[in-house]
Amino acid sequence: MLSQSLLKSRDDFFKEITDFGEHVAISSLHLFHGDLDLPPLSFHASMEEQWDEEEEQGEIETVLKVVPPDYHQYLDVFSKVKAEKRPPHPACDHHIKLEGLIPPVGVIYSLSSKESETLRAYISENVEKGFIRPRSSSTGASVLFDKKKDGGFHLCIEYHKLIAFTMKNRCPVPPMDQLITIFNGPTIFYKIDLHGAYNLLRIKEGDEHSTAFRTKYGSYEYLVMPFGFTNSPASFENLVNDIFSDFMNIFTVVCLDDIMVFSSSEEEHFKHVASVLQRLRDNNVFVKASKCGILGLCCVK
């Protein structure tokens, strides 16, 4: 029997909902934060054997503090180094269907020294990750910068022409009131936040040229789906639905890059979270340890 002091009402649980374009996502959950007495596991592999040799010791220590010991056999799923490598082509790449677009020849804007520094660092980092590659064509969108509140710069690519000529793919998402009906009675929740989100998707082979952008350091094209693309939410929704199709609405709810695992008992909950982490591992999808954890208990009627 769950203590009444640990339970929240249905209204409290769902009172903060954010409208995310065509999607609805849970922005935050105010629940009881407590330790659950989950059943222990016996592990055969040491933490060092599971973790990539490239990982820094500092990150390993951080992850070990955040991730409950019962899930340490899945430490590789929380690897930042692995998450920042170019993913393999999944079952559903991001396809760019165009309607009569003539490839643009964008202007190469004059940049300040700080903007040039930021651009050079962005290109170097993403070429090293395998997210972008050089291209010889002179066509491509322009690059400019938007100043952040902290004084830094956010790189922007003028894809407005590409967006205008892209055929729209609207992936329907169940209304929130339908998702609420999935939960019944006292429920335990574990939140998982995916690392990289849209960058987990590859651009379909042959479509990479449509993502081209021009800079004073040369022209480049994306191999992974960048943020802000038309149909990005729909393509990402297709990816997570494909990965979790047999878990969805049984013990898992997915809203873009947020995964909610829910169970009616502690024993079930451990098995459900372990199943989700294993499925992520099988699909080379990684998560942010700092944004994952047990949210608590909620009584939904």
Q: Which two tokens stand for residue 217?
A: 């350091």
Residues pairing with 191 in the sheet: 260, 293
Measured CA to CA, the distance from residue 12 to residue 104 in angstroms comes to: 50
Q: Please tell me which residue, 203 or 274, carries the higher pLDDT value.
A: 274
Note the CATH number of domain 4-89+171-199+230-300: 3.30.70.270
Measured CA to CA, the distance from residue 137 to residue 109 in angstroms comes to: 18
* Residue 267, C-beta contacts closer than 8 angstroms, at least 6 positions apart: 39
Measured CA to CA, the distance from residue 273 to residue 192 in angstroms comes to: 9
Domain residue ranges in the chain: 4-89+171-199+230-300, 113-168+202-222
Note the CATH number of domain 113-168+202-222: 3.10.10.10
Taking alpha carbons only, the member of 20, 32, 88, 84 closest to residue 258 is 20
Average pLDDT over residues 148-158: 85
pLDDT in tens, 5-64: 333 444 443 443 333 333 333 333 333 333 434 333 333 344 444 555 555 556 677 777
pTM of the model: 0.68
- Whether 281 shows a pLDDT value over 50: the answer reads yes
